[in-house]
A and B are shown apart, each in its own frame.
Chain A
């Protein structure tokens, strides 16, 4: 039995399908991350789970029970909104105590639970503070505490840290992981930040245009993306995409980039046969190796360096292949200059191929 299960959920706003036949399952204690660009329908999905949106079709189960007929308050979920929703007319303690007060929990228990929750999020000294006097991080902590005291089956967190500056966001991310490990709660966490998603998630669902493109562990989505969208969304720096034309030679596939050939690719490496000759090669900058001066051979492609780039920790050179700008990681930036001849080869095992629909076929 899943703690949360969404089956074929569709939500339409006017003409726009905000959620398009979405299905997912979350196990008890899992840190489940819903990742996708802004506007892809993450909040809509979370709000449907909470009962704040009524889906057009599909079903939602919490602990095996359908919640479609239940009010938000009866669903045993707690939600942390994208916007700050601490009540300005209550201090920190009263805000955290609010859900308990609503449920009619007696005073002593409230006192204890709220004190514990404030301890856990490490702001016990702020219990009597006015909401207006909290820093961004403290406000987030108070909101987490308010979610914690509700002790629900599922915690729904909608981009909880997106309004914080980078440093604080990284810190709060660790905090939420610490709290997750300590309490073992089930979390559905929404973010548009792939780096954040990869770091915190046990399971990742990548969403685009209202659809779930792939569900898997961070490593799976990084190494075996279902399609081009996932491949380009996950991982930093971004994967290179190079247009190529495929042809068959002696039962093996050969790729043509510009007028150069690359291959062969073994048939048994393919997930499925290409239906079109126009494919896209996907290869990460770390999987591109480069050598100076022109070389020829089956696995070599030649180009000229367009520009070089250094982030301090990593160095990259950029060149053109098949009309696409390709980035390769190099050990020393000073070895390279604009206009240098470069001979390129790929880590063939890791190399991906996408068909024109974006589906991965290798």
Chain B
């Protein structure tokens, strides 16, 4: 009896959160899904709404600029995520091997590592746009002192994307490092000492002890960073505005341009958003599945 009433209480307590996420998250998505089958154009408010089936999907999937933006989104998210996780792991290993017994230094460095992640993305974008600047930027200044020519980090379409990815990795690898460091210190020390007596090299330890013991955490950090990467609109908008040309334009930016900035094609943009949503959900399902399987294996 007591348990039953507590269960009921629990339901009441959880209800607002569920209702809120439904209203704030699911409803707009359903609305976008509906819109994607219509012919809504915000520039032509007087046009009668008409159901046009999957036409929007056909058109947008065939659109080269959409395809390019999809490629850019994937490149940005994957490179940024893998980069941040790997660099994070490297930093975590450095902290573990060299600073574990120096608490003061460790605390100081941890704080510094967190600062980029705590800084707003817009601020980070402005800071790096300035750093990359061919004329005023610190990086080019240093390159100049070293005798190199000016590099157009953000306006050379061959390297603009990598420059933006680098900024993203810079912002998040410290954050990833702190998670992974916490994981490292939770691996029993005897595992390492056992390996030491056996005579395992650093890379053997990494392969046989560290990676297997951190697998769950690595996947979790990967997932978290991937989610952060998918929301890239602010960073890229400020740094390059999607340029030069459309070299760094991601799906978010293209769809925004399509619906708001350019031609007012709200329905077509909705179709693009739904496609992106499906891709995101599928890739998350794969990662979460991997994560679960790893959990079961433990």
Contacts and interface: CB of A to CB of B under 8 A. Distances in A.
A73 B213 contact: no
Interface stretch (B60-68, B95-103, B158-166, B185-193): B185-193
A51 B197 contact: yes
Given A79-B194, A83-B190, A89 B200 contact: no
Contacts of A85: 188, 190-191, 193-194
A79 B197 contact: yes
Interface string B194-211: 111111100010001100
Given A52-B193, A79-B194, A87 B208 contact: yes
A293 interface: no
Contacts of A81: 190, 193-194
B213 A89 contact: yes
Nearest to A89: B212
Interface in A67-113: 71-75, 77-79, 81, 83, 85, 87-90, 98-99, 102-103
Contacts of A78: 197-198
B198 A73 contact: yes
B200 A102 contact: yes
B199 A102 contact: yes
Contacts of B197: 50-52, 72-73, 75, 77-79
Contacts of A99: 198-199
Interface in B224-240: none
A276 to B, nearest CB: 47
Contacts of A50: 197
A327 interface: no
A89 B211 CA distance: 10
B198 A102 contact: yes
B190 A71 contact: no
Contacts of B191: 85, 87
A284 B194 CA distance: 42
Contacts of B204: 102
A144 B243 CA distance: 63
A85 B212 CA distance: 15
A150 interface: yes
Given A87-B208, A88-B298, A73 B188 contact: no
Contacts of A103: 199
A73 B188 CA distance: 19
Nearest to B215: A89
A60 to B, nearest CB: 14
Given A87-B208, A88-B298, A102-B204, A74 B188 contact: no
Interface string A25-67: 0000000000000000000000000111000000000000000
Given A72-B199, A83-B188, A102-B200, 16 more contacts: A51-B197, A72-B193, A72-B196, A73-B198, A73-B199, A78-B198, A79-B194, A81-B194, A85-B190, A85-B191, A87-B191, A90-B208, A98-B198, A99-B198, A102-B195, A102-B204
Give 8 nearest A-B pairs by CB, closest first: A73-B199, A89-B212, A85-B194, A85-B190, A99-B198, A72-B196, A72-B197, A79-B197
Interface of B: 188, 190-191, 193-200, 204, 208-209, 212-213, 215, 298
15 contacts: A51-B196, A52-B196, A72-B193, A72-B196, A73-B200, A74-B199, A75-B197, A79-B193, A79-B194, A81-B194, A89-B209, A98-B208, A99-B198, A102-B195, A102-B200
Interface of A: 50-52, 71-75, 77-79, 81, 83, 85, 87-90, 98-99, 102-103, 150
